[in-house]
Structure 1
Amino acid sequence: MALIKRNPTQEMTRWSGGFPMFRGFESLRRDMNRLFDEFFRGDILADESFFGRDWTPAVDVVENNDAYILKAELPGISKDDVKITLENNVLTIRGEKKNEMEKKEGNFHRVERSYGMFERSFTIPGTIKVNDIDAQYKDGVLTLTLPKAEEAKPKLIDVKVK
């Protein structure tokens, strides 16, 4: 029997490959997070579309020294069906992924894609240059670049030793 020697300096990292049998749990986790976010924000009952909402776009938010960059996957959505607002440092993306089944073309044997209204809101932690926000929509991906104002950018301070 061969023994494998353990390396005490080797760190454990989270495997991001996922297991196909747990994909449904990831969707459930996202839905539960959205439910609690909206409940504690206080508008769960004010938004009628909450109970009929079946689809939430995946979003990445990245911060670098100069800007916040947000990428949202919006496949099958026209740019005219997306509205972006910024108010009190809260960026909101709203829209609708329209149901193609309403066209009644043929008999559907399987329907797996989700449709409906969506809304995602993000609090921007710093001050941004509102007039310089850039929005691009290409191949179903919305990319928002929110440049940081000078006072929000990190500053390098030299420490002098005496």
Structure 2
Amino acid sequence: MTMIRFNPFRELDSWFNAYNRSLANQGKENPLSADWKPSVDIVESDKSFLIKAELAGVPKDDIQVQIDKNILTISGERKSEITDEKHHRVETFYGSFSRSFSLPENVSEESIKAESKDGILYLTLPKHEPKEKLKKIEIH
């Protein structure tokens, strides 16, 4: 027999989370949608940076990756799957998302590669040697 520990605050916590979501979504068309930020991991190796963004349920056609003025932005939308059926719990965020990151000077913007696999977006940002910005001026 398995013993389950009683937690009287579990349902209360769930109710508060739903309440906070509803406050965040006041005035929006779908009360169950919200702006959300997917989780992101950034890993650095000797040759590149790897950005992994959790985008489960977002088709790759609904994801945009752009670079503007040395800022990498991942954006898109997870469309709601809510139907007219009775839902007992909805914890998945739906709606638009956007994450932006400043790129280091040693990233080769022209060589960035993107792949979407199993609900994860993989961005590989190869490194290059930064151009020398310090120019020594000879005094005559």
TM category, shorter? 0.5 to 0.7
Percent identical: 45
1:118 maps to which of 97, 108, 111:
97
In the alignment, which of 149, 152, 160 is matched to residue 128 of structure 2? 149
Number of residue equivalences:
103
Larger % of helix: which? Answer: 1
**Cα pair 2:34 2:93 within 8 Å, conserved:** no
Aligned letter for 1:138? K
2:40 to 59, 71, 74: 59
Alpha-carbon RMSD across the aligned residues, in angstroms, is 2.4
Q: Deviation per CA, 1:7-26, whole angstroms, max 9, x where unpaired?
A: xxxxxxxxxxxxxx8xx8xx
Q: CA shift at 1:130, angstroms? A: 2.1
**Secondary structure of 2:130's match?**
helix
- Please list every run of 5 or more consecutive structure 2 residues that lacks an aligned counterpart in the other structure: 1-9, 18-27, 132-140
- Using structure 2 for the length normalisation, give the TM-score: 0.65
Residues 29-55 of structure 1, C-alpha deviation per residue, up to 9 Å, x if partnerless?
Answer: xxxxxxxxxxxxxxxxxxx9xxx7442
The answer to whether residue 75 in structure 2 is matched with residue 94 in structure 1 is yes
1:109 maps to 88
| Structure 1 residue 123: Cα displacement | 0.5
The whole-number CA distance in structure 2 between the counterparts of 1:74 and 1:95 is 10
The structure richer in strand per residue is 2
- Which amino acid letter does the alignment assign opposite residue 69 of structure 2? N
